[in-house]
Amino acid sequence: MRLPVRKPVMPPPRVPVEVEAALNQVLTSPLFCRSRRISRLLRYLVEQSVSGNRRETSEYSIGIAVFDRDPGSYDTCDDPIVRVQAGRLRAKLRSYYATSGNDAPLRFDIPLGSYMPEIVTAAVPRRAASVRPLVFKPLTVADATPAAMAYAADINDELTHQLFKALGPTVMRHAGQDRQAALQLEGSIRIDGACARISLRLLAGDSGVIAWSQQYDAPAGRSIAAQERLAQTISSALQRHFADSEPAHTLP
């Protein structure tokens, strides 16, 4: 019986000083310091990225190199560990840059559909005094049936949580002085049978000008997973909107 041939162990690629410093800042943060598997995954992906080893960031290669899967039996279709941990890593990075890493000069981003991270130079951080809150006003629902009201309450709770994870403590559920908010997120939910349409608007708090608007269709049931996916989609879209509003560029 032929034994599987293992690749020779290669030394890790050399990482530029500024990238290594940014990576260590992330890995020693409270969000990452106790998550050894996710920290190991991030370091591996960054090392492969700076060396241009795109082949080594395939799901199969990551499973073997990071999660010690057996090359002779590892099947990515049966074992989703890389996909699961990559999803957790993306969520942790969003939380980190929304909170303690808000002023990080270099940021790591792992786009959906890829495991090759992008290393981005962030815009010059604004002073804390200039950061004004985003007021999230609970979405209203036209249908006053108990089922519709329960669905709306679920969506409002999940969206509040996901907005906080994506944008940090500047998100406010209620504000006594809405006029002081730079932006206000409001909208409505309409239910038609088993389908719900969520309409959202981002308004400038002082002028009421619409800065962003979008509609989302989703199942109107009370599936926690479906509601979580919807809230994540909305918060990610807002995060991209805010990122596009500030100058940034990707390192060559």
User: Above 60 in pLDDT, residue 165?
Assistant: yes
Asked if residue 12 is part of any domain, the answer here is: no
The answer to whether residues 112 and 139 belong to one domain is no
Same domain? 70 vs 133: no
Residue 5 covered by a domain = no
Taking a C-beta distance cutoff of 8 angstroms, is the pair 228, 191 a contact? no
Buried b (16+ CB within 10 A) or exposed e, 81-110: bbeebbeebebbbbbbbbbebbebebbbeb
What pLDDT is stored for residue 123 in this prediction? 54
**Rounded mean pLDDT of the chain?**
82
Query: What average pLDDT does this structure show over 121-145?
Result: 69
**Structural domain ending residue among the three candidates 77, 92, 121:** 121
Same domain, 138 and 117: no
Give yes or no: residues 232 and 138 share one domain.
Answer: yes
**Per-residue pLDDT at 248:** 42
Look at residue 252 and tell me whether its pLDDT is greater than 70. no
- Confidence band for 12, pLDDT divided at 50, 70 and 90: low
Q: Quick: pLDDT tens for 180-238.
A: 557 889 999 999 988 999 999 998 876 778 989 999 998 898 888 888 888 888 988 88
The answer to whether position 8 is within a domain reads no
Last residue of one domain, picked from the residues 121, 151, 186: 121
In a shared domain, residues 28 and 55: yes
CA distance readout (Å), 89 to 38, 108, 109: 6, 11, 10
Backbone angles phi, psi at 223, to 5 degrees: -65, 120
Is the residue at 10 inside a domain?
no
Q: Tell me, yes or no, whether 9 lies in a domain.
A: no
Q: Is residue 1 part of a domain?
A: no
169 and 78 belong to one structural domain: no
Q: Are residues 226 and 198 in the same domain?
A: yes
Mark whether 96 and 185 lie in a shared domain.
no
Q: Find residue 219's DSSP bridge partners.
A: 195
Residue 7 falls within a domain, yes or no? no
CATH number of the domain that residue 235 is part of: 3.40.50.10610
pLDDT band with cut points at 50, 70 and 90 for residue 18: confident
More confident residue, 13 or 99: 99
Rounded Cα distance between 98 and 163, Å, is 10
Residue 159 has pLDDT above 70, yes or no: yes
What pLDDT, on the 0 to 100 scale, is given for residue 24? 92
- Same domain for 32 and 103, yes or no, is yes
Whether 164 and 97 share a structural domain: no
pLDDT of residue 128: 39
Res 26 pLDDT > 90: yes
2 within some domain: no
* Domain range for 27: 17-121
Lowest mean pLDDT among 3-7, 106-110, 163-167, 188-192: 3-7
Number of domains composing the chain: 2
- Most confident of the following: 159-163, 165-169, 240-244: 159-163
3-state secondary structure 173-225: CCCCCHHHCCEEEEEEEEEECCEEEEEEEEEECCCCCEEEEEEEEEECCCCHH
Residue 203: CB atoms within 10 A of its CB come to 20
pLDDT digits (tens, 9 = 90+) for 38-71: 999 999 999 998 888 777 789 999 999 999 999 9
| pLDDT value, residue 120 | 84
Domain end among 121, 152, 186: 121
Average pLDDT over residues 140-163: 90
188 and 116 part of one domain: no
